[in-house]
Amino acid sequence: MIPEWLTTLAAAGSAALVNAASTDVWQAARERFARLLGRGDPDRTEAATRRLDDLHRVAREPGNERELAEARRAWRLRLQDLLEENPDAADELRCAIAELPPPRPVSAAIRQDNRAYDHGTVNAVAIGDLTVHPTRPAASDG
């Protein structure tokens, strides 16, 4: 099982990579992550380059928040797999992240309020994080 800090590092790498896909630093990020994912194997590097090119195409399309959220998830899983197989790649991933602009916040495109059990309110966000705000039960008329 992968340690939590490696999972967090993979998530940070994914967010930074997806953010970079729509910026002017993309070519450098593409080369750096292709090398990182390829681990010296030309076939793996080529496969990583194809996936990175697909990411770049998605990132350039307007109004694609859902696709970008899916890309962040997919790249997080790829990076987690990389770190699980090659824990020594963690420092290289940290350096790659440090060279990229900070990720922009994920915007919540759809918001809905739902009631939760135990008098809590759940604010569900279609793209982004789930936030739970506990509330106190209403005072009953006595």
Q: Which residues, 6 or more positions from 96, have their beta carbon under 8 angstroms from its beta carbon?
A: 13, 16, 29, 32, 33, 36
Residue 53 pLDDT more than 70? yes
Distance CA 80, CA 85 (A): 9
Per-residue pLDDT tens digits for 72-131 = 999 999 999 999 999 999 999 999 999 987 766 654 444 444 444 444 544 444 444 444
- Inter-axis angle of helices 26-38 and 90-98, nearest 10: 180
Closest CA to 103 of 3, 29, 2: 29
Residues 14 and 80: beta-carbon distance below 8 Å: no
Distance CA 45, CA 32 (A): 10
pTM of the shown model: 0.69
